[in-house]
Amino acid sequence: MSAPAPVVNRRFFLRAAGVTLALPLFESLTGRVLGASRALGSQPGAAIGATRPQRMVCVGNMLGFYQPEFFPTQTGRNYDLPSLLQPLAPHQSDFSLFSGLDHGVKGGHFAIHSYLSGVRSVDAKAMPEGNISVDQRAAESVGGATRFPSLTIGSEDGLHGGCMMCWTRSGTRVPPIPGPRELFRRLFITDNENDRRRSDDRFALQGSILDAVNGDAQSLGRQLGRRDQDKLDEYLTSVRDVERQMELGRRWAGVPKPKPGMPEPANTGFVSDLPVLYDLIALALQTDSTRIATLEIAGGFEASAFGLRKDYHALSHHGQVRENIEGLLKLEKYQMEQFARFLAKLKSLEDGAGTLLDHTMVLFGSGMGNANAHTNNNLPLVFAGGGFKHGEHRVYPAQGLGRVPLCNLYVSMLQRFGVEVNRFGLGTATMRGLDLA
Amino acid sequence: MPALCRFAVACFGAALFALHATAAVPAPPSPVGPAGETTLRTFFSTYCRECHGPDQQKGDRRFDELALTVTQPDHLLDLQDIIDQLNLGEMPPAKAKQHPDTPEVRAAIDLLTQLVADGQSRFASTGAQTVLRRLNRQEYINTVGDLFGLNMTMFDPTTRFPRDEMVMHMDKIGDVLKTSGFLLAQYLDAADQVVEKAFATTARPAEQTWRFTGNFSQQPELRYSHGKVFQYRYLCLYETTTSDKHEGAYGPLLQFAEGVPADGLYEIRVKAEAKFRKNPYDPNFFGTDPAMPFRLGVVPGNAKVGALHLPQPIEPLLGEVVVKDDAPEWYTFRVWLDAGFTPRFTFPNGMLSVRNAYARILRQYNQLFPEEVRRTTGIVESRVVVMRYGQLPHIRIHEVEIRGPLAAPWPPASQQAVLGHQPFAPERTRDLVHAFASRAYRRPAHADEIDRLMTVVASRRQQGRTPFEAMKDGIKAILCSPAFLYLAEPATEPAVERTLPAYALAARLSYFLWSTMPDAELNRLAASGELLHADVLVAQARRLIASPRSSAFVNGFLDSWLNLRSLGDMAPDRGTFVRYYAQNLESAMKQETRLFTRDLIDRNDSIVRFLDSDYTFANRPLARLYGLEDAVDPATGHEFHRLALKTPQRGGLLGQASILTVSANGIETSPVIRGVWLLENILGTPPAPPPDNVPPIDPDIRGAKSMREILTKHRDNPSCFECHRKIDPLGFALENFDPIGAWRTRYGQGIAIDASGELPGGQTFQDVAGLKRVLVTRQAQFARMLTERLLTYACGRRLEALDRPAVDKILEATGPDQYRFRDLLEQVVLSRTFRSK
């Protein structure tokens, strides 16, 4: 008959969480009330006050990092940097490195999408907040304070539709903005008079369509059974979501977009686009266009740009062959260099009394542990900025009862962002040992 | 911080366990039966009771009262926890008085795993009913196309839709397909695009003719050399579109970049010749089959989407012709083009990389070039020299003529679909909206629905739109209504009598076999209620199957059952598997499996052919992969032919390259992955997922250790053994097929392949041919699996225990004739499950 749903591999964490997985497994959960904090916030475009807001940036790749060159052998402070971390040397005191953290999931490529949520989409039904990712959870609290509650950037190319890192509460993947050109236009190109009129008219049309179809859904619901009604709730929730988006769009439509201070970039392939994307993210944060950004470095990352014959995925299946590993390290090192450049950039930008990095939490890593073996444990993770005390390589137990769920880090990040939560995904507490500076 | 305390307690406390162990309410009978229950109870009382019984509850766990039927999700966690501890060998602890032996542990794990699987399927249950299902992306496209009579080849309003959610590769399961704000926002945009497109042409377009001679500037990379050598007289095609640098892979008409002015049928005439098909160079340079005549293709291009000499997201092959060697001749295509699209020429059997060929030809055949150019270096000058003095195989286009739109109906079908045969008049608005909504909703629209649509129209009038524009906006609202987007099946209480009403049945049948809305005939039979009669229903099923439109079923079902949709997602390595790209094997592989299936349906042959057959369908490149290229005449080598197979290894699905590629990862093969694939999709008995904390296999291809040795070691672990004895033999049987399905007898490192194996039942085989013989003896099991998949696909829900009688009945009806495929489809349609909500 039907294939069994994948085993709930997270029992330990769940038990740890004291989460009673009582119903509503049978029910559609999407009709749940959205976070109350979702209401529209401050006045659009108002200057940020003296207290600088926290920002959050999460970067992920599809295939992880070659572990023997990623994890240091020493712990604590002043550890020797393995070759993959060398590009981060100038920032060693600005980031924390973790060993032994993961979500307890399995599935290789098919589990990496749990990177920022801790929950695979197939298991989402059983979780109180589904498989919402940390960025989207934070974005729910932003409301209308910024033009974009969050920006999801990256490609859907490559294996199995890319990294698929960002998920909403209703279990829907947030589709990424594909390239620097599209990102630039969204951030900085203001509609002309004609476009404005057209978009006003579109708002008007869509508003009246939503009224009509909302009525259709109500009347259809009356003819349906309970299960179907639950399903139809998804539709009604979607109507409210779109109305909210339109409201936000209307509010911001009259506010001119910031000046970019750079010309419109072209899309030239993911490898060469990567530094441009990082620059645009920094600009987006700096101009308070958004406070949350994610970047997905997917399989479309062209190995040919490095003169390599095999592609990224092929190299990740290195089979311990030295030549493959060296090729793979080239690609991974490049990603690390660009990330280091991004940190340097955030550090160089003034933000209130400190730097932009002081007010930006940056997570860099992957939902893949060891791509050669398709594992999703002991994930490579670098966590920088945000005003935390950094500089250490922290090692957590890789197995046994003392395990710490990676989601605890997300609890810490959410609290730092200003979201009042004590748990998130599989996380039940803030990250042990991660203190504010 | 309170959160911290909670974490500490939680982490070391595990306080909830005993709570769920008490079975206060009588539980349903255990899925492992009384014998299984006794085995487990004995196991617990012998080995676990001392620490986890009435006297002691170490770790807050108590097993003597443990429920052996999963009724709450928490039970799953409890049982899985026990399985994990047993797998890890951590329980019972070393200091315990008694220890179970390996067979006892295996038996316990096996039973507990069954309990978990049973529980999981129960929690996924939808009460054996289809949950309100929205159209998936493909169905949306097809339905919109039919509603408006729009040609959807070049028009995809769904490009920004989020991907459809799937289980078991199926994108049709009602409770799984989601609607989100993102999707609804896209529905709103798509409705706008569709309706505006339907009404885009406002005046009858006049037929025009465009001629292009000379001044063929093609792409920046070729500008210099084509200017120098040809003075831009020709469009030259060198590469196949699956090349990676696309130098001369597309022949765009840059003078016609704005494309045709109106949707319609166009005649394209091309004066072209095949140059240097016979040349002195090593054919391996090009990766092509020099015996096959050159072919010229046409694909659409849209300059607004991107450069015309590069691939674009929408570029179906609109037509292709064989081109004569060395003699320019006129060739004619008649193709549909949407407004704004321009034709681009392609070379389906061109070479993979002309860019690499220049320098290689010049180096290796230096003596064939005039002395003064032999020392040329650098890509720019080498290109010129090889084009001028060499014999580079290519298609040369001298002239192009485009004429159209040809004999376009006026008003276009898309406007007639809304307006009927009369022009628009404001007072007709309500009638028009009513008629269109009734088609879109697949049943007569209700008065309150029309009222709401008219409210949209009225408010748009108030906002200053003309009556005509406001009517169009009403039509847009129809495309966003849940009545259109969902296949609604009204509630029929009580739950025992769940027969689908006629309109819902018509929709189910149509979406099953055509993946689109019911046509006029089905609608008529639904309106009269005749469709509810079995003889009418089966006659309609036959009509739909016989129509070419049922290719939507063949493609959609194969995508869902065999995951052909994912073919190419794990792209084979370009270095190792050049021919996969050079000969466009990916599309050939898909085509083989589709033709094979289509043929079974058309001939109403037995589904046992899926397990083993002495024939298949292939074009010459695919036949070459199979070592059978001589069986296909090069002159018609691009077409698919039915081929007799002389050896027993290749027949059936297990020898088809599509299956062998989709079950590998493009780099290497894994007997485990292919074995699991077989268990899931052929035998219908998916194995349990691997237990936690068992070390994964970390491939090491350097040494002399074969996969078999690595896996044998893995199987020494008792917890791995239970599943891997079922998985591995199936996978090993396929090891003679490389990651793209070519036959091999050794691995890359020279290790000989041993494909023999023994199944858990004791049957042994030497290689895949032997395995297939065993599978044929298990055809009843295969037929059950396939029937269940068909029903799942047709009804949009997972099957449950309650559906078993319906499945049995189908199998009884079709078994005596060895389960002929069309019989099976008809029985599925006639089944209780199909005709019920």
Place of tokens 């740890």: A16
The mean predicted confidence, pLDDT, of chain A is 84
Q: 3-class SS at A388?
A: strand
Please state, in angstroms and rounded to a whole number, the distance separating the CA atoms of residues B266 and A256.
46
Which among A6, A241, A429 is the nearest to B181, CB-wise? A241
Residues of A in contact with B667 (CB under 8 A): 313-314, 317
Residue-level pLDDT at A49: 53
Which among A1, A219, A235 is the nearest to B121, CB-wise? A1
Determine the distance from the C-alpha atom of residue B459 to the mean position of all C-alpha atoms in its chain, rounded to a whole number: 43
Total residue length of chain A: 437
Please state, in angstroms and rounded to a whole number, the distance separating the CA atoms of residues B368 and B386.
10
Please state, in angstroms and rounded to a whole number, the distance separating the CA atoms of residues A385 and A96.
9
B128 Rama sector, left if φ>0, alpha if ψ -120 to 50, beta otherwise: left
In single-letter form, the type of residue at position B331 comes to Y
Each residue's pLDDT tens digit, B170-193: 999 999 999 999 899 999 999 999
- Count CB neighbours of B674 within 10 A: 25
Q: What average pLDDT does this structure show over B708-732?
A: 80
- How distant, in Å, are the alpha carbons of A269, B73, B320, B527, B659 from that of B674? 34, 31, 36, 48, 9
B 542-601: CB under 8 A from A? 566, 569-571, 573-575
Sorted by sequence, the CB contacts under 8 Å of residue A82 that are 6+ apart come out as: A68, A69, A70, A71, A72, A73
Partner-chain contact B666 A319, CB within 8 Å: no
Q: What average pLDDT does this structure show over B631-659?
A: 95
Using 50, 70 and 90 to split pLDDT, how confident is the model at A299?
low
Residue-level pLDDT at B719: 66
Contact between residue B288 and residue B582 where contact means Cβ atoms under 8 Å apart: yes
The mean predicted confidence, pLDDT, of chain B is 89
Q: What average pLDDT does this structure show over B353-363?
A: 91
Q: What average pLDDT does this structure show over B759-769?
A: 92
Each residue's pLDDT tens digit, A233-263: 999 999 999 998 898 888 888 788 998 888 9
Tokens of A282: 């920094």
Please state, in angstroms and rounded to a whole number, the distance separating the CA atoms of residues B706 and B288.
34
Q: Is B599 exposed, middle or buried (0-12, 13-18, 19+ CB in 10 A)?
A: middle
Query: Which carries the bigger pLDDT value, residue A41 or residue A329?
Result: A329
Flag whether the pTM goes above 0.90: no
> Looking at CA atoms only, how far is residue B673 from chain A in angstroms?
12
Sorted by sequence, the CB contacts under 8 Å of residue A54 that are 6+ apart come out as: A291, A359, A360, A361, A386, A387, A416, A417, A418
B 441-470: CB under 8 A from A? 446, 448-449, 452-453, 455-456, 459-460, 463
Residue-level pLDDT at B610: 98
Using 50, 70 and 90 to split pLDDT, how confident is the model at B694?
low
Contact between residue B453 and residue B433 where contact means Cβ atoms under 8 Å apart: yes
pLDDT at residue B677 is higher than 50: yes
pLDDT at residue A172 is higher than 50: yes
Q: φ, ψ for residue B541 (rounded to 5)? A: -60, -45
Contact between residue A292 and residue A419 where contact means Cβ atoms under 8 Å apart: no
- Count CB neighbours of B635 within 10 A: 12
B 729-748: CB under 8 A from A? none
Each residue's pLDDT tens digit, B29-73: 677 888 888 888 888 888 888 888 888 777 777 787 777 777 776
> Looking at CA atoms only, how far is residue A370 from chain B in angstroms?
9
pLDDT at residue A346 is higher than 80: yes
Residue-level pLDDT at B165: 86
Contact between residue B319 and residue B297 where contact means Cβ atoms under 8 Å apart: yes
- How distant, in Å, are the alpha carbons of B151, B257, B358, B781 from that of B304? 20, 9, 32, 53
B 634-693: CB under 8 A from A? 665-668, 680, 684, 686, 688-690, 692-693
Q: What average pLDDT does this structure show over A335-350?
A: 96
Residue-level pLDDT at A158: 60
Using 50, 70 and 90 to split pLDDT, how confident is the model at A45?
very low
B 176-215: CB under 8 A from A? 178-185, 188, 191-192
Q: Cα B267–B268–B269 angle (5° rounding)? A: 120
pLDDT at residue B605 is higher than 50: yes
Q: φ, ψ for residue B816 (rounded to 5)? A: -60, -25
Residue-level pLDDT at A301: 81
Each residue's pLDDT tens digit, B211-258: 999 899 899 999 999 999 999 999 999 999 988 789 999 999 999 999
> Looking at CA atoms only, how far is residue A204 from chain B in angstroms?
8
Which among A174, A175, A319 is the nearest to B701, CB-wise? A319
Each residue's pLDDT tens digit, A357-406: 999 999 999 999 988 888 888 999 999 999 999 999 999 988 777 789 99
E strands present in B87-142: 133-134
Tell me whether the omega of the peptide bond preceding residue A397 falls within 30 degrees of 0, making it cis. no
3-state SS of B724-755?
A: HHHHHHHHHHCCCECCCCCECCECCCCCECCC
Residue-level pLDDT at B123: 72
Using 50, 70 and 90 to split pLDDT, how confident is the model at B19?
very low
Tokens of B760: 């858990």
Please state, in angstroms and rounded to a whole number, the distance separating the CA atoms of residues B164 and B161.
8
pLDDT at residue B388 is higher than 90: yes
Using 50, 70 and 90 to split pLDDT, how confident is the model at A205?
very high
Residue-level pLDDT at B10: 32
Residue-level pLDDT at B28: 61
Query: CA of B493: which chain A residue's CA is closest?
Result: A225
Residue-level pLDDT at A25: 26
User: Within an 8 Å CB–CB cutoff, is residue B751 touching chain A?
Assistant: no
DSSP A261-275: SSPPPPP--HHHHHH
Give percent of chain B above pLDDT 90.
Answer: 66
Q: What is the largest CA-CA distance in chain A?
A: 67
Partner-chain contact A25 B132, CB within 8 Å: no
- Count CB neighbours of B383 within 10 A: 26
Using 50, 70 and 90 to split pLDDT, how confident is the model at A121?
confident
Which among A11, A209, A372 is the nearest to B476, CB-wise? A209
Using 50, 70 and 90 to split pLDDT, how confident is the model at B512?
very high
Each residue's pLDDT tens digit, B408-454: 888 999 999 999 999 999 999 999 999 999 999 999 999 999 999 99
Using 50, 70 and 90 to split pLDDT, how confident is the model at A159?
low
Using 50, 70 and 90 to split pLDDT, how confident is the model at A96?
very high
DSSP A87-140: GGGGGGGGEEEEES---S---GGGTGGGTTTSS-GGGGGGSTTTT--HHHHHHT
> Looking at CA atoms only, how far is residue A358 from chain B in angstroms?
23
Query: Which carries the bigger pLDDT value, residue B691 or residue B431?
Result: B431
Residue-level pLDDT at B499: 87
Q: What average pLDDT does this structure show over A182-201?
A: 88
Predicted ipTM > 0.90: no
Residues of B in contact with A219 (CB under 8 A): 446, 448-449
Tokens of A236: 């009604």
